[in-house]
Amino acid sequence: MNVAKVLALVLAAVVVANFLGLVFGVIKQMTFWIVSIIAAITAYKIIPKLRK
């Protein structure tokens, strides 16, 4: 019985860890895209001012 409980807990922990890893991976990708888009927009706005 104890072994089964431990196995169930380990399995649950692995599933939760995988899910959290997936979520954090998606968040990292999203922040990367948002940062690059913001950087592109700011560069697009700043560069013409620098040329003048």
| C-alpha dist (Å) from residue 29 to 4, 6, 11, 44 | 37, 34, 27, 22
pTM for this structure? 0.54
Report how far residue 44's alpha carbon sits from residue 28's, in angstroms, rounded to the nearest whole number.
Answer: 24
Lowest mean pLDDT among 30-34, 40-44, 48-52: 48-52
Higher-pLDDT residue of 49, 35: 35
Task: Summarize the confidence of residues 13-32 as an average pLDDT.
Answer: 96
